[in-house]
Structure 1
Amino acid sequence: MTTLYVDRKGVHLRVDGGTLVFQEGGARVACVPLGPLERVILRGDVTLQASVLGKLGESGVGVVVLSGRKAEPSLLMGRPHNDARRRLAQWQRAQDAGFRLTVARELVARKAAAQQRFLLEWAERDLMHRYELRTAAKRVAAAVEGVASAPTVGSLRGLEGAAAQAYFNGLQVLFAPSLHFSGRNRRPPRDPVNAVLSLGYTLLHAEAVLQTYASGLDPYVGFFHELDFGRESLACDLVEPHRVGVDRLVVRLFRERTLEPAHFSTVQGACLLGKAGRERFYRAWESAVEGLRQALQVSCAALVKAIVADVEPPEQPVAGS
């Protein structure tokens, strides 16, 4: 086990030696050793003392807290990578328009290629919708034809947005009409498919933030996504080519009826995944996310290599000056 999901009301967590202990009503109900854990995801009415967070941090265990109906994530983690020169180099590169454009072009091209592959894979499996899926794949390709020659990062965002619209227009044929999925919507998601996509993207983003810290980078300083207060722009960059991995899981969960409309409710226009549905999702997510974690690690390592290449170190002050 690398990830522990705690989504249960009235649970109190404490640490006993090298073990995370669960209590309900003062009684010990379960325990998990800290050794194998890499991250703990908390949701719901869970209580714990600050000393538990400290112990998790000492053990290098990241903590993701999903709060509220929107499951907005807050992250706590152990010590980040200790080479601050990487972050200095990243900040330098963020001021280099040419470097930003190169990184952004690659991200958009990789994301669009992954979307095309996914649509064409399903075109070979779902003969009833082959025409719609192939047409959507062609429209994604057409939308990003100008990536290599795009003059600015802003123009790339326009191409990426057009490709995403074409992609989701094609993707909708893979879901039953009873799910009312007609494209991407969020804040709040208004149908079951978008509710699960949002949860999956949130968890993937949290993985990207953890990976940026582990790699010695600043998750708030990106290249494709602009700086914005409170937004982890680099993590947003990193997840773009890997969103299809979430889409792949969501399609499977609904087509295999692991998740059904009965697992959802609507409150004030927001479609919410209930506890029974979340349990099913978390089980499926943990079996699917390892590949995404590895892909994020590879992407982060490649970005670090590009960032530090040929960057001049800052001048060192002369002693006594």
Structure 2
Amino acid sequence: MERIVDIATDGRHLAAHRGFLIVSEGREEIGRVPLDDVAAVIVHAHGITWSTNLMVALAERGALMLLCGPNHQPAAVCLPIDGHHAQNGRMRAQWEAGRPLSKQLWRALVVAKIRWQGAVLEANGRTAGAFDLLARKVGSGDPDNVEAQAARRYWGLLMGEDFRRDREAGGANALLNYGYAVMRAMCARAVVAAGLHPSIGVHHANRGNPFALADDLIEPFRPLVDALTVRLGAVGVATVTPEAKRAYAGLIALDLPGMGGVTTTVSLAATRAAQSLAKSFQTGKAADLVLPQPPSALELAGLDALLR
């Protein structure tokens, strides 16, 4: 099972030795994880050092290292250069994708996100009939910004009318930042493994954003983080504690409904979405994009196991 490794204590050293990621402090080993199990290493602490051998070993396995600022927002990332045997052709197709295709792909991502938001609201006892209607109103490229209309309704219904999404704030906002960082790392890894470049997005296009495509692909998965944040708040977790980090890291292994009634994990759903996105760029058909279906209330109840 792929694992997210979070480094949150100052003064640690990270190295690779005989197939393991070794965490040490003052030359004394305090933990190890099989390198083949690592999906991403997220570093929040300061004064952390690591070896070049570790970075090479992570890159060889398609894993990444994500460096975060004090607000738990990603600040830098180390990604493999060679992620797929057909990388050159896929990146060329990605770069040459026309605006009509990019707009259709963005529409599909927004529709999926809104439907997931509705599923999360329903699972939390909120009426979400309007979200199905909003999803049907999304046009190519979302020219009417239905995504923002849905967000305004969604946050008030899910978190309370006084809640405001603020990336620089603490409390629930800091928890959301951390959860999204985990999902972002997962999506960036899936994008690179599919032979795509994470900075060339279909909608997100900030020149300083190395995660543009990962930020597109993450959209349907964001409501999972929101749902877990609500559950953490219900049990009294209001800050980014070690317990909260373990819960968010466990999200990538959560079971989701797959195609043909086959259950899949969040991580595998992201991998499949990225692979199908690569196919869409090559065929020029947005219909080739395969996104995960919204989970049922019973499937979202699986989040409770992450709190233990």
TM range (shorter): 0.7 to 0.9
- Specify which of 177, 180, 183 is matched with residue 201 of structure 1: 180
Residue of structure 2 in register with 1:56 after alignment:
58
Residues 105 and 61 from structure 1, CA distance in 2 versus in 1: closer, same or farther, beyond 3 angstroms? closer
Percent identity for Structure 1 against Structure 2: 25
Judge conservation of contact 1:70–1:188 (CA < 8 Å) in 2.
no
Where structure 2 has 5 or more consecutive residues not aligned to the other structure, the ranges are: 254-264, 286-308
Q: What's the CA shift for 1:280?
A: 0.5
Q: What's the CA shift for 1:88?
A: 1.0
Q: What's the CA shift for 1:247?
A: 1.1
Residues 14-29 of structure 1: matches in 2 within 5 Å?
A: 14-29=15-30
Residue of structure 2 in register with 1:47 after alignment:
49
Residue of structure 1 in register with 2:262 after alignment:
none
1:84-128 Cα distance to aligned partner (Å, 9 max, x none): 1111111121xx2321222122112111111112212222xxxxx
Residues 264-279 of structure 1: matches in 2 within 5 Å?
A: 264=239, 273=240, 277=241, 279=242
- Specify which of 243, 256, 259 is matched with residue 280 of structure 1: 243
Query: Is 2:219 aligned against 1:243?
Result: no
Query: Is 2:28 aligned against 1:37?
Result: no
- When normalised by structure 1's length, the TM-score is 0.75
Where structure 1 has 5 or more consecutive residues not aligned to the other structure, the ranges are: 124-132, 174-180, 265-272, 312-321
1:146 maps to a residue whose letter is: K
Judge conservation of contact 2:39–2:186 (CA < 8 Å) in 1.
no
Query: Is 2:159 aligned against 1:172?
Result: yes
Counterparts of 2:147 and 2:250, CA distance in 1: 29
Residues 68 and 146 from structure 1, CA distance in 2 versus in 1: closer, same or farther, beyond 3 angstroms? same
Residue of structure 1 in register with 2:96 after alignment:
92
Work out the number of aligned pairs and report it: 269
Residue of structure 1 in register with 2:143 after alignment:
155
The higher relative CO (CA closer than 8 Å, separation ≥ 6) is in 2
Judge conservation of contact 1:63–1:75 (CA < 8 Å) in 2.
yes
2:113 maps to a residue whose letter is: K
Residue of structure 2 in register with 1:302 after alignment:
276
Residue of structure 1 in register with 2:2 after alignment:
2
Counterparts of 2:282 and 2:9, CA distance in 1: 44
Counterparts of 1:197 and 1:186, CA distance in 2: 10
- Specify which of 201, 208, 231 is matched with residue 230 of structure 1: 208
Judge conservation of contact 1:141–1:163 (CA < 8 Å) in 2.
no
Residue of structure 1 in register with 2:69 after alignment:
67
1:175-222 Cα distance to aligned partner (Å, 9 max, x none): xxxxxx7234223024x1111111111221121111111101122222
1:99 maps to a residue whose letter is: L
Residues 229 and 15 from structure 1, CA distance in 2 versus in 1: closer, same or farther, beyond 3 angstroms? same
Query: Is 2:131 aligned against 1:140?
Result: yes
Counterparts of 1:104 and 1:35, CA distance in 2: 33
**Partner of 1:216: helix, strand, or coil?**
coil
Counterparts of 1:308 and 1:300, CA distance in 2: 13
Residue of structure 2 in register with 1:185 after alignment:
165
Which structure would you say has the larger Rg?
1
Residues 256 and 292 from structure 1, CA distance in 2 versus in 1: closer, same or farther, beyond 3 angstroms? same
Residues 253 and 242 from structure 1, CA distance in 2 versus in 1: closer, same or farther, beyond 3 angstroms? same
- Specify which of 85, 90, 95 is matched with residue 82 of structure 1: 85
Tell me whether 285-294 or 163-172 shows the greater mean CA deviation.
285-294
Q: What's the CA shift for 1:144?
A: 4.2
Query: Is 2:85 aligned against 1:105?
Result: no
Counterparts of 2:63 and 2:187, CA distance in 1: 15
Residues 307-318 of structure 1: matches in 2 within 5 Å?
A: 307-309=281-283
Residue of structure 2 in register with 1:267 after alignment:
none
Residue of structure 2 in register with 1:216 after alignment:
195
Q: What's the CA shift for 1:168?
A: 0.8
Counterparts of 1:112 and 1:58, CA distance in 2: 36
- When normalised by structure 2's length, the TM-score is 0.78
Residues 308 and 122 from structure 1, CA distance in 2 versus in 1: closer, same or farther, beyond 3 angstroms? same
Q: What's the CA shift for 1:154?
A: 5.4
Counterparts of 1:154 and 1:110, CA distance in 2: 13
Residue of structure 1 in register with 2:259 after alignment:
none
1:210-237 Cα distance to aligned partner (Å, 9 max, x none): 1111101122222233x22122221111
